[in-house]
Amino acid sequence: MFRRKIQIHLSKNVLDLYKNVYQIHFCEYSNQKVNGRMRVLNVAEKNDAAKNIAGHLSGGNLQRREGFSKFNKIYEFSHSFQGTPSTMIMTSVSGHLLGYEFQGSYRSWSSCSPLELFDLPVVKECPKDYLDIKKTLEREVRSCNALVIWTDADREGENIGFEIIDVCREVNPRIDVYRAILSEITRPSVQRAITNLGPPNKNVSDAVDVRSELDLRIGAAFTRYQTMRLQKVFPDILAKSLISYGSCQFPTLGFVVERYKDIQNFIPEQFWKIKVNHKIENLDVEFSWQRVRLFDETFCRVLFERCQENPTAIVLKVTKKPKSKWRPVPLDTIELEKAASRKLGINAKETMKIAEKLYSQGFISYPRTETNIFPKELNLSNLVQLQTEDNNWGDFAQTVLNDGPSPRQGKKTDQAHPPIHPTKYTQGLQDRERKVYEYVVRHFLACLSKDAEGEETIVNIEINDEKFLANGLRIIALNYLEVYPYDRWSNKQIHNYHQGQSFMPTGLEMTDGYTCAPNLLTEADLISLMDKHGIGTDATHAEHIETIKSRLYVGLENNKYFIPGELGIGLVEGYDNMGFEMSKPHLRAELEADLKKICEGIKSPVMVLREQIAKYKEVFIKTTEQVEKLDQSLGKYLRAQPVAFQNNGQHESMFRKNIRKCPSCNQAVLALKQKQNNQGFYITCLGYPACRTTFWLPPTVVNAEVTDNVCNQCPGDIKLIKFQFSVRSMRPHYQDIHEGCINGCDSTICEILGVNISRPSPSSSNTHSSNRNVTSSQNRGPVRENNIPRPTNNIQRTSIIQPLNDQVCCQCGDGAKLLTVTRETPNKGRQFYGCSKPISAPDRCNFFLWADDQPVATGHQAQFNNRSNTQNNNRPMNNSYRARPGNNQSNSGQRKCGLCKQTGHTRRNCPRN
């Protein structure tokens, strides 16, 4: 009634304002329209793209306003969305909005063993530098009914799109999400995209997530291990160096090292050959020997002398045939990178940076594509028409229009983007941007033109049974070469010979030479090898090459040829000496093939992640076992003697084995650790602090080690633990050294140790402090969670039932279990009876009786020692049972408790506390 009265008195405008404010600021997650109009949030990958897309959709009628990030503007305009007049809000991110990271303290290099990084949980979160962009999205999406993703239509773009979706749905869970696909930022393409929206592709995004998580785990584990070890092994040289590893980075380095070693190990071999010349006037024609060359000087000399005996040459055959120089196929990313490196003198990384800028400005199509086939629906004539006004290639473009564009198609397509081509004509570019744009235009016109035409003449001659040949070329029509100066084709003149003709050579000689080593790799050669072996993608080749350059693993000779540095070649040779092909492309190529299967929906991302982590983890463990070979190899190339180094600078063993998956968080694993003061052991979840599950082992465990053996009773490949107990503390149940399972299948050892790792503990995965009265251990580690139910503080009174056969039974009526006190007290080694049910059973009674007490049929009272989780010295408690001694024990000479007047404990430890 009150709300109705307010609506009567308020004007319509005030009510509309109230609705807007309520929906925007109080996050009303409904799909109701604001002011009768849809509000649609559009997000592009970069600000330039957002600006141009908004300009095309709005026809230039838009308003610009600021977001929280000064680099990512907001453009607001009106446009029809799915047939409904709508308010469109266009903004952008700056590449990836979220990134994978380890949790909490595990980002610190000294926090854990690098081996643990293969299993520790990771989170995908927003870096600090991008929080302003995230805040802009959260603010704008609150009032919107729909979200349209305009990121690049490749794997990375799809993943960035889902990062945007995740951020927006945190604020507005019910928002509708659409995907716009663009290959070029032109008005027709943008209008076509907004009218043909579809769903985002989760499979493609999952593939990127798998690759990103693997890169983090593998890179972090190897990089930390290499760096921390080698800084200590070579303190004078590498003390301040970051020695990184990446599963794409190392194979890329491996190609450079392999070629360099081929050259270093190359042994020149002398050869001999026969050469014939025929010179008339100023034209000297050289005939090549059909045997090419011989490595036997004597045999070659015999053949040469035979030619000298009768040196007259007879023309056996003259062949004239058409010769074509093929025009290029449509341009894809790899060819653009290679061509720019070879022909423009611009490295791959800079080329892609320029190409992306040209794309964002609408001058060329999307530059990251594996396609070299023009789709039939692409209007090539219109694109050629745009170039006819240029002074340099306009006439050629007009010729292509007159003849009709006839592309030479390639054989590759990614079913996503067309080949790279110009989308708009411009004269306003400068320097490298102009070079790259001009190359794209000239390549585009060339591939639509005709092959260069010529006539080739081949002349075969014979001199005393030895055969030789020469060829000539006459160019008839340059065709595509008129616009494509990056290719060369020259006339090669030859005399006019005819079949059966004989002539006397003007030169007949035997020459020698030496075989040559291959050249060092250029950037174009390196990209070709990466593409051939499946290392990285067209989007990441330049990045991997730049990484090995920045790490000083490789350098450039004559600013062109790659040569490995001392550190790079030492690392590769060290790993090769271990027998691992870490510098070879096989491991990474397998991953790239699996990622493709994820994109196609053939393979599960969880399965790929699990398989790949297992492969690299096994390599890592074996690497640490032979790491001295890495020291020796680096010592040779660094010309330094390795410093003896036994440990890895971590507080944990490199070879820790995991016991099982954590039952609480179901993400990380449980591992056995030793306290910092080496005074005991505990089992903890490696997901700390997100998961605080911890099981403390009692002091009777003087040593513990996780074995490779698996429990044959528990499912899930639970590892057995080899315990060493204090002398005779586990008798008669177990020997002092015992290998067993504490996952619940052996209730005896679980009950004695007070540990059962099969059950999650309440709030163990909660990162905030619990309200329970739980005290940390002295080393301020994770909160103790032994999953063992504790009795209440009230002392339990129980009746002992003595059956006719004299077997001791508990109050449940079952036979009691005989146990032994193991704690260092006057009662150590003393036996007692307890309930036989598992300690975790909810109906387990608290029966207790010293074994040397005389059982009484009824009325005898026993106490179960109930202590807090920690002792007075803040050390974890021993979960063995304690109680006051029986009445038949002599108390003389022993200190008595000040509360209950019994021996065996003090007032602080009294069960009545």
Nearest to 162 by CA among 122, 206, 119, 129: 206
Strands 466-477 and 694-696: unpaired
Tokens coding 314:
């007879």
Return d(Cα 280, Cα 493) in angstroms, integer: 12
Tokens coding 651:
């507080």
Q: Tell me which amino acid residue 7 is.
A: Q
Q: Measured in whole angstroms, how far is the alpha carbon of residue 629 from the centre of its chain?
A: 27
The torsion defined by the Cα of 595, 600, 601 and 607, in degrees rounded to 10, comes to -20
**Ranges of H-type helices in 142-201:** 155-171, 187-195
**Cis-peptide into 375, omega within 30 deg:** no
Strands 122-125 and 658-661: unpaired
Residue pair 511/275 in contact (Cβ under 8 Å)? The answer is: yes
Q: For residue 8, give the 3-state DSSP assignment.
A: helix
Residue pair 55/61 in contact (Cβ under 8 Å)? The answer is: no
| CA quadruple 544, 547, 552, 555: dihedral sign | positive
Reduced 3-state DSSP string for 738-801: EEECCCCCCHHHHHHHCCCCCCCCCCCCCCCCCCCCCCCCCCCCCCCCCCCCCCCCCCCCCCCE
Please report the DSSP string for 192-205 in residue order.
Answer: HHHHS-B---HHHH
CA count, 13 A, side-chain hemisphere, 891: 14
What are the φ and ψ backbone dihedral angles of 505, each rounded to 5 degrees? -60, 145
Strands 561-564 and 701-710: unpaired
**Cis-peptide into 689, omega within 30 deg:** yes
Inter-CA distances, 194 with 37, 216, 387, Å: 17, 36, 27
Return d(Cα 401, Cα 409) in angstroms, integer: 18
Residue pair 177/165 in contact (Cβ under 8 Å)? The answer is: yes
Q: Which residues pair with 89 in a beta bridge?
A: 41, 76
Residue pair 235/643 in contact (Cβ under 8 Å)? The answer is: yes
Residue bearing tokens 């633990």 = 721
Q: How far apart are the first and last CA of the chain?
A: 60
Nearest to 91 by CA among 121, 109, 115, 67: 67
Q: Which one-letter DSSP state was computed for residue 342?
A: I
Please enumerate in sequence order all residues whose Cβ is within 8 A of that of 680, keeping only pairs 6 or more positions apart, or say none. Answer: 674, 696, 697, 698, 699, 701, 875, 876
Q: Which of 106, 225, 359, 366 is catalytic?
A: 366
The torsion defined by the Cα of 209, 211, 216 and 219, in degrees rounded to 10, comes to 180
What are the φ and ψ backbone dihedral angles of 384, each rounded to 5 degrees? -65, -40
Q: For residue 659, give the 3-state DSSP assignment.
A: strand
Return d(Cα 269, Cα 274) in angstroms, integer: 17
Please report the DSSP string for 34-48 in residue order.
Answer: BTTBEEEEEEESSHH
Check if 366 is active-site.
Answer: yes
Q: Tell me which amino acid residue 768 is.
A: H
Tokens coding 635:
């010592």
What are the φ and ψ backbone dihedral angles of 419, each rounded to 5 degrees? -60, 160
Residue pair 615/623 in contact (Cβ under 8 Å)? The answer is: no
Which residues are part of the catalytic machinery? 366
